[in-house]
């Protein structure tokens, strides 16, 4: 995390001390680096320079309006999976004409909303969805642009909860059924077949599975062209991972290297089969844009020794950061102020009433009660997956820009949590 570093023994985000941020905003708090966000997005944008390509940020990773606004002004499109996410894009000043709508269970209301705002394309995942979208578009006097999310049955070799490209997945249309499904789509009067999409999984450190999926999409595009169904865009999805700092963890493939290999394959195919005819290429990165732009800042409440384990009890919990409990994910933990002394091994746990409430296990730390810890690389799937379990308000979020700090989401308080509830009289 190049924009988070120790300066005079204190961990900083860009030029701001995390100790000072904790004093000003309290804990737990998510702290993001604007410089890191722009650097990560630009790694995609620069690799696409001069090409007909669109980077659609997968906003489920982190949907704070400030982040969406920064990316929109940088030229990003957005990959959404709900009507609420579309409304966030609009509130942040994003362009609906650069929005791709994914997801297996789009409701009628969500389809109407997206059609009313004339989004770029629906990534359709089943024949029933095709028919529903056709009916909704027809009732509105509109035509919906669609691509099919094709499941290429490629093993992403990632955690089973975030592997989405195998036959057993709920996502997408099976590769063997895709040709027939495209024929159905092409025959529906209120749909326009625009492209093809796939997304095989998340936290991929090797691009070989993505390139394998690309080859299968190319095979299908060629078969469709022979039937007169010409596609105008190719959406290869997202999924590139980040390094979370676990010992022995592989480094992720650099974005420029992955896109270079992908574009080389596409260029060779188009030159051979289509005399260079253009096709727009769309990407849906999420974690690789926001994962390492942020940390979760938390305070140590108690150090609790035990017969079998020692516990470092902090004020952040599984409701603030679900990845460890949900995926058994490794998150690096760093003290904000480096201490000298003998390290002890702790499980870093929160106050939630669940044995699954842990953020890190068996970490060697030199710490004391009242110290601050930073849970590193927490910019993706942190606040967006958080909850109010145990009537805990969700954390604050701040954005660091050089030596300036901006509060981009206020901390929730208990009254916020039950404001929508009513007592029966």
Q: Which of the residue ranges 6-15, 160-169, 230-239, 392-401 would you say has the lowest mean pLDDT?
A: 160-169
The string of DSSP codes covering 101-113 is E--S---HHHHHH
144-151 and 311-314 beta bridge pairing: unpaired
Is the pLDDT at 39 greater than 60? The verdict is yes
Spatial contact of 297 and 30, defined as CB atoms under 8 Å apart: yes
Spatial contact of 375 and 35, defined as CB atoms under 8 Å apart: no
The string of DSSP codes covering 35-99 is HHHHHHHHHHHHHTTTSSEEEEEETTS---HHHHHHHHHTT-EEEESSHHHHHHHHHTT--GGGE
pLDDT tens per residue, range 70-102: 999 999 999 999 999 999 999 999 999 999 999
Is 261 marked as a binding-site residue?
A: no
Cα 28 to its chain centre, rounded Å, is 21
Is 323 marked as a binding-site residue?
A: yes
Given its phi and psi angles, is residue 30 left (phi above 0), alpha (psi -120 to 50 degrees) or beta?
A: beta
Is 397 marked as a binding-site residue?
A: no
The string of DSSP codes covering 356-397 is T-EEEEEEEE---TT-EEEE-S-SSSSGGG---GGGPPPPEE
Residue ranges of domains in the chain, CATH in brackets? 4-31+291-417 (2.40.37.10), 103-283 (3.20.20.10)
Of the candidates 163, 255, 172, 261, the one whose C-alpha atom is nearest the C-alpha of residue 212 is 261
Query: Listing from the earlier edge strand, what are the strands of the sheet with 10-13?
Result: 4-7, 10-13, 16-17
What span, in angstroms and rounded, lies between the C-alpha atoms of 197 and 231?
11
Is 145 marked as a binding-site residue?
A: no
pTM of the model: 0.94
Spatial contact of 15 and 268, defined as CB atoms under 8 Å apart: no
Angle of helix 208-226 relative to helix 175-186, nearest 10 degrees, comes to 40
pLDDT tens per residue, range 280-294: 999 999 999 999 999
Spatial contact of 171 and 123, defined as CB atoms under 8 Å apart: no
What span, in angstroms and rounded, lies between the C-alpha atoms of 289 and 71?
10
Contacts of 394 (CB under 8 A, 6+ apart): 319, 320, 383, 386, 387, 388, 411, 412
Is 327 marked as a binding-site residue?
A: yes
What span, in angstroms and rounded, lies between the C-alpha atoms of 17 and 184?
58
CA distances from 258 to 205, 236, 264, 305 (A): 10, 12, 10, 47
Please state the rounded mean pLDDT for residues 145-170.
65
pLDDT tens per residue, range 101-138: 999 999 999 999 999 999 999 999 999 999 999 999 99
Catalytic residue numbers? 353
Is 363 marked as a binding-site residue?
A: no
Residues in the chain: 425
Is the pLDDT at 395 greater than 80? The verdict is yes
Is 244 marked as a binding-site residue?
A: no
- Tell me which of 157 and 226 has the higher pLDDT: 226
Angle of helix 208-226 relative to helix 255-273, nearest 10 degrees, comes to 20
Is the pLDDT at 200 greater than 70? The verdict is yes
| H/E run at residue 261 | helix 255-273
- Tell me what pLDDT residue 204 has: 87
| Mean pLDDT estimate for the chain | 93
What span, in angstroms and rounded, lies between the C-alpha atoms of 318 and 323?
8
What span, in angstroms and rounded, lies between the C-alpha atoms of 217 and 373?
45
Grouping H, G, I as helix, E, B as strand and the rest as coil, residue 16 is strand
- Tell me what pLDDT residue 170 has: 67
- Tell me what pLDDT residue 258 has: 92
């Amino acid at each position: 995390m190049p924009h988070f570093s120790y300066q005079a023994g204190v961990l900083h985000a860009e030029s701001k001390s995390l100790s000072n941020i904790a004093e000003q905003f309290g804990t737990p708090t998510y702290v993001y680096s604007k410089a890191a966000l722009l650097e990560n997005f630009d790694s995609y944008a620069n690799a696409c320079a001069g090409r007909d390509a669109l980077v659609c940020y997968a906003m489920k990773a982190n949907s704070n309006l400030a982040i969406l606004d920064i990316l929109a002004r940088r030229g990003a499109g957005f990959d959404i999976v709900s009507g609420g996410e579309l409304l966030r894009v609009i509130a942040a000043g994003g362009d609906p004409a650069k929005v791709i709508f994914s997801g297996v269970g789009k409701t009628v209301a969500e389809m109407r909303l997206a059609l009313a705002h004339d989004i770029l394309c629906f990534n359709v995942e089943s024949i029933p969805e095709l028919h529903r979208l056709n009916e909704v578009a027809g009732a509105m006097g509109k035509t919906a642009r669609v691509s099919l999310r094709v499941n290429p049955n490629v093993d992403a070799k990632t955690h089973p909860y975030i592997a989405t490209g195998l036959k057993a997945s709920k996502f997408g249309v099976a590769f063997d059924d895709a040709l027939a499904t495209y024929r159905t789509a092409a025959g529906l009067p209120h749909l326009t077949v625009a492209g093809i999409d796939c997304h095989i999984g998340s936290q991929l450190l090797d691009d070989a599975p993505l390139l394998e999926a690309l080859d299968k999409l190319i095979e299908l595009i060629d078969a469709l062209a022979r039937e007169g169904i010409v596609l105008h865009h190719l959406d290869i999805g997202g999924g590139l991972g980040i390094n979370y700092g676990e010992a022995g963890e592989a480094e992720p493939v650099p974005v420029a290297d992955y896109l270079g290999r992908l574009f080389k394959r596409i260029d060779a195919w188009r030159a051979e089969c289509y005399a260079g005819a253009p096709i727009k290429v769309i990407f849906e990165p999420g974690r690789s844009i926001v994962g390492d732009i942020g940390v979760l800042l938390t305070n140590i409440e108690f150090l609790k020794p035990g017969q079998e384990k020692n516990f470092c009890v902090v004020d952040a919990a599984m409701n603030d950061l679900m990845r460890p409990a949900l995926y058994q994910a490794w998150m690096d933990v760093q003290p904000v102020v480096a201490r000298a002394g003998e390290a002890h091994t702790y499980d870093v746990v929160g106050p939630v009433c669940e044995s699954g409430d842990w953020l890190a296990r068996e970490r060697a730390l030199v710490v004391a009660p009242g110290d601050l810890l930073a849970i590193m690389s927490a910019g993706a799937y942190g606040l967006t997956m958080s909850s109010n379990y145990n009537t805990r308000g969700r954390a604050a979020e701040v954005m660091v820009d050089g030596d300036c700090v901006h509060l981009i989401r206020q901390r929730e308080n208990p009254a916020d949590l039950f404001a929508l509830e009513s007592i029966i009289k």
